[in-house]
Amino acid sequence: MGNIKNTLAIMMASFIALQSCKKTPAVNNSGGNTNTIVTGTDPAVASTQGFFLDNWAAKTWAAPATTQSVSKPSANGAVAVSVDLSQIITKVSTNIYGNNTNPFMGQYVTEPVLMNNITALSPKILRAPGGSLSDVYFWNGDGTKTQQPTDAPDTLLDLNGKASPSNYWYGYNTQSWTFTVDNYYKVLQQTGSTGLITVNYGYARYGTSAHPDQAAAHLAANWVRYDKGRTKYWEIGNECYGNWEAGYRIDPSKNKDGQPAIITGTVYGTHFKVFADSMRAAAAQVGNTNIKIGVVLTSSNDVGNNAGVSNWNADVLKAAGNSPDFFVVHNYYTPYNQNSTAPTILSTPASMTSSMMSWIKTSVQAAGVTQKPVAMDEWNIQAVGSGQNVSNIAGLHAVMTLGEALSNQVSMASRWDLANGWANGDDQGMFNIGDEPGATKWNARPAFYYMWFFQNYIGDRLVASTSDNPNIVSYGSSYSSGQAGVILVNQGSIDQVVSVTFKNFAPGNNYYYYTLNGGADNAPFSRKLYVNGIGTGGVSGGPANYASIAANAAGITGGITLTVPAYGAIFLVADKK
């Protein structure tokens, strides 16, 4: 009897266990089949993301205020996209939407059109004072000769050793063509953004004092003191390995601490620790106990002769050790100064982001240091000759770069830049600074609209998605409020009908989406942007009412099928049950 009782008890326990492990049945989005929903589990925060995910917040989605019913195309022969909500890749960081400011934008805090556009874009992070000019920037000077440090030379050397006027920039120059430090802080406050400040490292090289590294570190530390805890993220120099940077080559006869003529990773890594120590001490004095300081690394293999300096990452990491809080990289994706085609441009986000992260991880492992968060604080394309930078294609590239940054667990991304110069269409600025023929000042370019819709129509978790057509790229997401989303990019030259299946999701009644694509002008590099067929009467940009345009809406019953236009994108959210 005892054996029978034990057997019955085991059978009953097994039955109860099986009942408790049952998953919730649900109807999938393609018809009447019954699936079980597996709830995804958040992965551990990747070491390449770290503290940049500290401000992550759950996201609630609400259906658009206005919608328009649309008919579904036939699903025959459609591209199949599958999105699995149970496979969570990462939480979506809001720090990937950053952008770069620069002093040659003028005192733009008084420009309401631009300020409204920046606020709407909600970049979260705004980097200053700029790219290469950061290394000739004295934040506490006003531009007069008396404000130039006495140990800053009147001329600087280029990569070949030719001397040219130093042309320093100053943070307290109040002229209309430049931008003050205090106005930068006003922009941060008015747009709800966080600062990322690049301090002048070049001064540690070309300074003529007995200890130029200490003088430059002291200048940076004084900025930290002046900042008084307003800024968390700082970095030491800009592309310091580059032969285009101030400080790449110096005159050894004027240097008093034995530095070599050409910069090395060892020199920079050693100097980094001097800067970091001074800046952290200054932060502690003003009560900023959470300052984070980034070190400049290369984004691709530098073992040969990359950017003029060999073995940069290895030498920097050996000298700096674990003193950096994060690693800074820049990525301009396309071949430099080439008239790249649309397929060439759109092929780069996936391959280049993945190889960049692989290179950083390899560099870290080889150096035997701790992996730190990776911040891509400058990115864009560098194609020239056909108006690529101001085009719809640049907007699609921006969508894919954001998606790949998340997929590869980049901690922060900041696009270059808010405004620049027309340069016959080779302008990397997101907004017209005022020199684009036929366009109003501060007119937004296609990338603005694509990045706005990306941020507003991606959930708070990136989930796995697949496509059976290489021209259709997909980025799936889920919302803490229960909805499912997908962003579809058509990187091909013909329209594609796509059917989307959400797995491990209990669908509601409808799905909503916006279609973005370029026009017929300058094809395929259209300067115009259309949202659900609505565009602009101007020569470039998109509709002024982009935020209030009615969403396309259709019923989930019978499946999610839609047409993604050639060189266009769709931002879709499916309602929950």
pLDDT tens, 259-282?
Answer: 999 999 999 999 999 999 999 999
Question: Do 157 and 88 fall within a single domain?
Answer: no
What does the pLDDT average to over 310-327?
97
pLDDT at 142: 86
Q: How far, rounded to the nearest angstrom, does the alpha carbon of residue 508 sit from its chain's CA centroid? A: 33
In a domain, 205, yes or no: yes
Domain ranges, residue 169: 127-324
In a domain, 543, yes or no: yes
Question: Do 75 and 190 fall within a single domain?
Answer: no
**SS3 state at 55:** coil
Instruction: Report whether pLDDT(171) > 50.
Output: yes
| 32-41, 130-139, 206-215, 224-233: segment of lowest average pLDDT | 32-41
The answer to whether 276 and 294 are in contact (CB under 8 A) is no
pLDDT at 307: 62
Residue 29's pLDDT band (cuts 50, 70, 90) = very low
Question: Do 151 and 297 fall within a single domain?
Answer: yes
Question: What burial class does residue 144 get, using C-beta atoms within 10 Å of its C-beta: 0-12 exposed, 13-18 middle, 19+ buried?
Answer: exposed
What does the pLDDT average to over 175-182?
96
Residue labelled with tokens 């008093």: 256
pLDDT at 19: 36
The answer to whether 495 and 570 are in contact (CB under 8 A) is no
Question: Do 254 and 195 fall within a single domain?
Answer: yes
Of 324, 358, 386, the residue that ends a domain is 324
The number of beta carbons lying within 10 Å of the beta carbon of residue 505 is 24
Alpha-carbon distance of 381 to 348, in angstroms, equals: 9
pLDDT at 148: 84
In a domain, 63, yes or no: yes
Residue 305's pLDDT band (cuts 50, 70, 90) = low
Give me the helices (H) in 101-239, please: 112-121, 181-191, 203-206, 212-227
Classify 400 in phi/psi space as left (phi over 0), alpha (psi -120 to 50) or beta. alpha
Split into its structural domains, the chain has a count of 2
In a domain, 395, yes or no: no
Q: How far, rounded to the nearest angstrom, does the alpha carbon of residue 285 sit from its chain's CA centroid? A: 32
pLDDT at 449: 98
The answer to whether 326 and 360 are in contact (CB under 8 A) is no
In a domain, 281, yes or no: yes
Question: Do 238 and 313 fall within a single domain?
Answer: yes
In a domain, 452, yes or no: no
What does the pLDDT average to over 118-123?
97
Question: Do 88 and 131 fall within a single domain?
Answer: no
pLDDT at 8: 36
pLDDT at 30: 40
Question: Do 218 and 135 fall within a single domain?
Answer: yes
How do beta strands 194-199 and 233-236 pair? parallel
Ranked by mean pLDDT, the top range of 35-39, 205-209, 286-290 is 205-209
Question: Do 293 and 173 fall within a single domain?
Answer: yes
**How many residues does this entry show for the chain?**
577
pLDDT at 147: 77
Question: What burial class does residue 226 get, using C-beta atoms within 10 Å of its C-beta: 0-12 exposed, 13-18 middle, 19+ buried?
Answer: middle
DSSP codes, 197-210: EEE--THHHH--SS
Question: Do 204 and 86 fall within a single domain?
Answer: no
pTM to 2 decimal places: 0.93
What does the pLDDT average to over 150-176?
96
In a domain, 453, yes or no: no
Question: Do 134 and 66 fall within a single domain?
Answer: no
* Residue 40 amino acid letter: G
Helix H or strand E segment including 562: strand 560-564
pLDDT at 143: 78
What does the pLDDT average to over 8-13?
38
Alpha-carbon distance of 295 to 273, in angstroms, equals: 10
Give the mean pLDDT of the chain: 93
- Enumerate the β-bridge partners of residue 502: 83
Instruction: Report whether pLDDT(219) > 90.
Output: yes
Q: What share of the chain in percent tops pLDDT 90?
A: 90
Question: Do 217 and 131 fall within a single domain?
Answer: yes
pLDDT at 2: 40
Of 324, 339, 367, the residue that ends a domain is 324
* Residue 412 amino acid letter: M
Question: Do 219 and 315 fall within a single domain?
Answer: yes
Q: What is the CATH number of the domain that holds 549?
A: 2.60.40.1180
Alpha-carbon distance of 236 to 277, in angstroms, equals: 12
In a domain, 186, yes or no: yes
Alpha-carbon distance of 283 to 269, in angstroms, equals: 21
Tell me: the pLDDT tens digits for 49-62?
A: 999 999 999 999 99
Q: How far, rounded to the nearest angstrom, does the alpha carbon of residue 105 sit from its chain's CA centroid? A: 21
Helix H or strand E segment including 362: helix 348-367
Of 290, 324, 358, the residue that ends a domain is 324
